[in-house]
Amino acid sequence: MQFSTFHNLRISQLGFGAMRLPTLPGGGVDRAATRRMVAMALEGGVNYFDTAYPYHNGESELALGEALRGVPRERYLLATKYPGHQLQSRHDPAAVFEHQLKKCGVEYFDFYLLHNVCETSIATYRNAEYGILEYLLRQKEAGRIRWLGFSSHARLPLLQSFLQEAGGSLSFCQIQLNYLDWTLQQAKEKLALLQAYNMPVWVMEPLRGGRLARLPQAQTAKLQAEAPGQSPVGLAFRFVRSLPGVVTTLSGMSSPEQVAENCAIFEQPDELTDRERALLLAVAESLKSEIPCTGCGYCLADCPAGLNIPRLLQSYNDLRLGGGITVGMQIDELPPEERPAACRHCGRCAALCPQGIAAGDLLQ
C-alpha cells in the first residue's frame, strides 16, 4: 500500500468508503460481508475508513464500527460526518455527535467533516443558533476530534466564500474529483482553489459512482488499444493519485473482489503519463452527454412519491447508451408507483442534488 503524510500521520492512499456497503436481499447492510471486506482492507494496508451519519439509512456507522471492533485503535483512522445538509430544522449538534460516537463504538474520531457544504446546506452551517462549527471546534480542543474538515459538492463561488470565512478552522477538504468532472464540474478549478488555501484534498467519487468502471464498449476498446494492460479502474485511480495535494482517495467498495482489486492498484506507485491523461480527458469528452448522477442518494429522503431516483436515472443513461430492450424490461417489471411516470414534478430532488440534476424533467 502506498501512503501519504498528513502532519504526523501516515494515511493509506486508498481509503475505505462505507457509502456502498454490500446489502442483503431483504434490505440492510450485509454485516458479515462487511466484516470480511474490512479485514481484507486492513490486510492490504488500508488504514483510513470513512462513513457518515446518513449512509445506508444510518446503518453504515453501525456496520463499520462493528467491523472494526477488536482492531487495535492505533491501526486505523476513522472518519465520519456531521449531517448538516439533511438537518434543516432545529437540532442539537451535541446529540448528533454523541450518537455517532456511540454508533461507531469509539471515544474519538480521527477525522470529522461537515458533510456536503453546498448551496442548499450553507444556511444550516452558518446558523448561529445551531453553532455547529463552534461546537465541533470545542470537541477538537477536547481531543474527541483529531482533525476537522469538510466535504463539498458546492459550485466554485460558494466553495471560495466558505474557505474565506471558515477555512482557517478546518484542516482538509473532500471533493468530488475524477477525470470526467475535471471539466464537467470544474474540479480542476476547485483543486487549484484548495491549493491556494494550502488545503489538503481527500478525493470522493473517483469512479463517479462506478460509472467510470463500466465504460461503453467503444471507450473501453480505445483505452485497451492506447493503454494496454491498464484497466479503466486503474487508470481512473491513477488520474486522481497523480494530482498535487491529494492525500487519500475514497472508494465505496461493495464486494471483496473490489477490495482486492483496489488494494492491488494502490500497491504500485505508478504515475499517470501525459499520454494516458490526454486519453482519459478525451474519453471524458465523449461521455459528457450522460446525466451525471453519482448515486449518492441525497434525493431519496424527500421524494414524496418514494421513487428510487438514482436507479431510474441510471436506466435513463443506459437507454441513452443503447441499453434498449433490457432496460425497458427492467422498468416494466416495476410496479406502477415505482416507475418514472409516478414522479410528481415537485422539484425537491433538484434542490437536494449535489450535481444540480433536474430529475423530474428527465423522468418525464
Sequential DSSP letters for 226-238: HSTT--HHHHHHH
Give yes or no for a contact between 238 and 276, defined as CB atoms under 8 angstroms apart.
Answer: yes
pLDDT over 70 at 204, yes or no: yes
Q: Is 38 exposed, middle or buried (0-12, 13-18, 19+ CB in 10 A)?
A: buried
Q: How far apart are CA 169 and CA 277, in angstroms?
A: 34
Residue 203 has what pLDDT? 97
Q: How far apart are CA 270 and CA 265, in angstroms?
A: 9
The average pLDDT across 68-95 equals 88
Q: How confident is the model at residue 88 (pLDDT cuts 50, 70, 90)?
A: low
Residue 181 has what pLDDT? 86
Three-state SS string over 162-200 comes to HHHHHHHHCCCEEEECCCCHHHHCCHHHHHHHHHHCCCC
Cα-based distances in Å from 52 to 178, 281, 315? 21, 31, 27
Residue 20 has what pLDDT? 93
Q: How far apart are CA 224 and CA 227, in angstroms?
A: 5
Cα-based distances in Å from 173 to 143, 154, 239, 247, 356? 20, 12, 18, 10, 20
Reported residue count of the chain is: 364
Percent of the chain with pLDDT strictly greater than 70: 95
Average pLDDT over all residues of the chain: 90
Residue 318 has what pLDDT? 63
Least confident of 71-75, 150-154, 354-358: 354-358
pLDDT over 80 at 288, yes or no: no
Percent helix, percent strand, percent coil in the chain, to nearest 5: 45, 15, 40
Q: How confident is the model at residue 295 (pLDDT cuts 50, 70, 90)?
A: confident
Per the DSSP assignment, residues forming a β-bridge with 111 are 79, 147
- Return the top range by mean pLDDT from 60-64, 280-284, 355-359: 60-64
Give yes or no for a contact between 147 and 171, defined as CB atoms under 8 angstroms apart.
Answer: yes
pLDDT over 90 at 333, yes or no: no
Residue 253 has what pLDDT? 93
Q: Return the C-alpha cell found at 310.
A: 438514482
Nearest by Cα to 11 from 177, 258, 202:
202
pTM of the model: 0.81
How do beta strands 9-12 and 14-17 pair? unpaired
Query: Helix or strand or coil: residue 286?
Result: helix
* Dihedral angle sign, alpha carbons of residues 313, 315, 316, 317: positive
